[in-house]
Amino acid sequence: MFDRATLRHAPSVAMVNLVPGDIISGYIAFTGEYEPDLSGRISTLARDGGLFVDVGANMGYFSLLWAGARRDNHVIAFEASPGVYTKLIGNVAANGLGDQIETLAKAALDSTGEITFAVGPPDQTGWGGLAPEGGEGVTVPAVRLDDVVGDRTVAVMKVDVEGADLLVLRGCERLLKEKRVNRIFYECNPTRMAELGLAVDDAERYLSEVGYRTSPINSLRTEWMAVPRE
């Protein structure tokens, strides 16, 4: 079950070497999906095709959903945790999707250089994130999405970076102002945001400033969507 799990929303692909005890792995192993509502939204949008930017790709679940929907779909997947990145590239290789999914062992933020990444406990792949100032972790490279994506148009961007969503969005300011990102899914994690010195509504306010309309997609207001304002 944890060795190989077919994905409910993309039966042509599967995830391998899931981690027993890991929350994300458990959902995928037992149900074939993780975050059902977001999975449904992204898999539906994937049928229309285009480029998917997956920031905080984890082991590749959403990247695989996108690439598995159409052979001409493409993905840029960022995963800063070295151990989790190994699992990401393993899943891409196991499904023969290396020509569709570009993987980067980097953090996508608002500046280039090096940052300290707190990897979290080894049995939880989704708990790592940008370390607070003075915090401990491993050193990883950071890039800006404006530089990586260039002049391409992004059909969907998914951001799951444990509180640092605003910093990711600031790093693609040019793309946003040029309306080159058609849809964004991002999170609001108040606890992790406070650790990074960010306010709960920072991402919402920033997106409004650059011409995007935001709305929560769950009752807890922890999952959000943004689209260009008409």
Q: How far apart are CA 18 and CA 29, in angstroms?
A: 7
Question: Where does the pLDDT of residue 81 fall: very low under 50, low under 70, confident under 90, or very high at 90 and above?
Answer: very high
Q: What is the pLDDT of residue 1?
A: 82
Q: Residue 10 has what DSSP assignment?
A: E
Q: What percent of the chain has pLDDT over 90?
A: 98
> In the predicted model, what is the mean pLDDT of the chain?
98
Q: How far apart are CA 76 and CA 123, in angstroms?
A: 25
Strand ranges in 119-176 using DSSP code E only, listed in sequence order: 129-130, 138-143, 156-159
Q: In what order do the strands lie in the sheet with 51-55?
A: 101-104, 74-78, 51-55, 156-159, 184-187, 223-228, 212-216
H or E stretch at 167: helix 165-170
pTM: 0.98
Question: Where does the pLDDT of residue 5 fall: very low under 50, low under 70, confident under 90, or very high at 90 and above?
Answer: very high
* pLDDT, tens digit, 9 for 90 and up, residues 96-151: 999 999 999 999 999 999 999 999 999 999 999 999 999 999 999 999 999 999 99
Residue of 41, 53, 150 whose CA lies nearest to 108? 53
CATH superfamily placement of domain 36-228: Vaccinia Virus protein VP39 (3.40.50.150)
Question: pLDDT at residue 4 above 90?
Answer: yes
H or E stretch at 40: helix 36-46
How far are the Cα atoms of 6, 84, 87, 94 from residue 3, in angstroms, in the given order? Answer: 10, 16, 12, 12
Strands 74-78 and 101-104 come out as parallel
